[in-house]
């Protein structure tokens, strides 16, 4: 077996609370390189104390793709495999041995498991596959934000879910630069369906409802916008935006469109059910949730959302069932919700009340 050399690389800025944990998780790499882009805390000192090679460079104006490409330049040419990780991520033990067991000269990229969000019990909630393990010298990063690796030549990607990265984001960190960077990204490439979708979603996060609706409709009209999962998400976000404008009938209409676009995804059924629940239309909500439960498999894309699979859906179903006097179903489902969220006092009280009717 060829002795492939692996380099983990990253960019950082004020990540002192994560630096040691991150460095420990990637310690098996042959080299660890970080481009620090202007930390004013102890990030650099912590990383260096862990044997990480740190180079400092301020990127002005800020773009994620430029920063990542600068970090790529720091990797020596004699390294074979590059693994890009952010400092708020942790790769599970044994990753290097697993990687070397499947790598060969023909492979250019590996797609692996990424747990984007985990609950308070450290159980994955939003999981998809990502592909930031790649051959050295073949790729560059593109787009100011939500940047992607673009190959210079043919690539051969393999799927290997046994490598697992967990994401533990700093919820206190501002993402205020995302919106202008997404606007710039769409300006640079108005035909890019992925970033048009992200821009519309970002407007929704900022409650810029009209901007969100118009941008997400642009996404749906792009020729390259053919991935049904993402199209469905755009339709759901349009529905959320109409709901934010208190146009509930329009919101319902777009949730129905989302269901029609991707009937194999739970999220649209659950969100529409919640709208009916808010109107005390428990029967319609109950029927939609039953349809959602018929979908047993969670997709391995970033589109899947926690509420369709965690305690929320069982909680909502139990309340609807209870109001429809389906007491046994209500108890069964609130117990499932409580099993998923055992410290939830409201669920505990709901169970006590519902059991009185069985």
Query: Residue 255, Cα to own-chain centre: how many angstroms?
Result: 21
* pLDDT tens, residue by residue, 258-287: 999 999 999 999 999 999 999 999 999 999
Residues 22 and 92 in one domain: yes
CA–CA dist 181, 292 (Å, integer): 36
57-101 pLDDT per residue, tens: 999 999 999 999 999 999 999 999 999 999 999 999 999 999 999
321 is a domain residue: no
Q: Is the pTM of this model over 0.85?
A: yes
pLDDT of residue 1: 56
CATH number, position 124: 3.90.550.10
Do 190 and 143 share a structural domain? Answer: no
Q: How many domains does the chain have?
A: 2
pLDDT tier, 257 (very low <50, low <70, confident <90, very high otherwise): very high
Measured in residues, the chain has a length of 358
For residues 170 and 164, the answer to whether their CB atoms sit within 8 Å is: no
Q: Identify whether residues 208 and 117 lie together within a single domain.
A: no
Token pair recorded at residue 304: 């899947």
Q: Is the pLDDT of residue 315 over 70?
A: yes
Mean pLDDT calculated for residue range 135-142 = 98
Query: Are 138 and 185 within one domain?
Result: no
Phi first, then psi: what are they for 111, rounded to 5°?
Answer: -105, 125
Pair 345, 357: CB distance under 8 Å: no
Do 154 and 48 have their domain in common?
yes
C-alpha closest to that of 302 among 192, 150, 139, 167: 167
162 and 185 both lie in a single domain:
no
Domain carrying residue 19: 6-167
């Amino acid at each position: 077996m060829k002795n492939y050399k692996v380099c983990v690389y990253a960019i950082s800025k004020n990540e002192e609370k994560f630096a040691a944990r991150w460095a420990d998780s990637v310690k098996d790499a042959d080299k660890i390189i970080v481009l620090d882009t202007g930390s004013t805390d102890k990030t650099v000192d912590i990383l260096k104390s862990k044997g990480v090679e740190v180079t400092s460079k301020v990127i002005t104006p800020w773009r994620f793709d430029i920063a990542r490409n600068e970090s790529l330049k720091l990797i020596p040419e004699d390294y074979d495999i590059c693994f890009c990780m952010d400092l708020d991520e942790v790769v599970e033990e044994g990753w290097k041995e697993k990687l070397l067991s499947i790598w060969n000269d023909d492979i250019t990229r590996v797609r692996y498991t990424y747990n984007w969000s985990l609950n308070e019990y450290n159980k994955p909630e939003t999981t998809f596959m990502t592909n930031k393990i790649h051959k050295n010298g073949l790729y560059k990063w593109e787009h100011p934000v939500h940047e992607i690796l673009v190959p210079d030549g043919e690539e051969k990607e393999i799927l290997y879910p046994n490598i697992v990265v967990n994401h533990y984001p700093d919820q206190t960190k501002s993402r205020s630069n995302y919106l202008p960077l997404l606007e710039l990204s769409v300006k640079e490439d108005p035909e890019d369906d992925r970033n048009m979708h992200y821009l519309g979603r970002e407007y929704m996060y900022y409650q810029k409802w009209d901007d969100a609706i118009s941008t997400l409709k642009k996404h749906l009209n792009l020729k390259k916008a053919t991935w049904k999962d993402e199209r469905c998400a755009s339709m759901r976000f349009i529905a959320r935006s109409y709901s934010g404008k208190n146009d509930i009938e329009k919101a319902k209409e777009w949730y129905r469109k989302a269901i029609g676009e991707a009937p194999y995804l739970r999220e649209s059924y659950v969100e529409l059910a919640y709208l009916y629940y808010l109107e005390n239309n428990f029967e319609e909500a109950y029927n939609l949730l039953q349809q959602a439960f018929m979908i047993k498999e969670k997709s391995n894309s970033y589109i899947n959302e926690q509420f369709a699979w965690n305690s929320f859906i069982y909680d909502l179903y139990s309340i609807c069932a209870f109001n429809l006097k389906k007491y046994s179903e209500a108890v069964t489902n609130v117990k499932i919700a409580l099993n998923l969220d055992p410290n939830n006092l409201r669920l505990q009280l709901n169970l006590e009340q519902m059991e009185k009717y069985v």
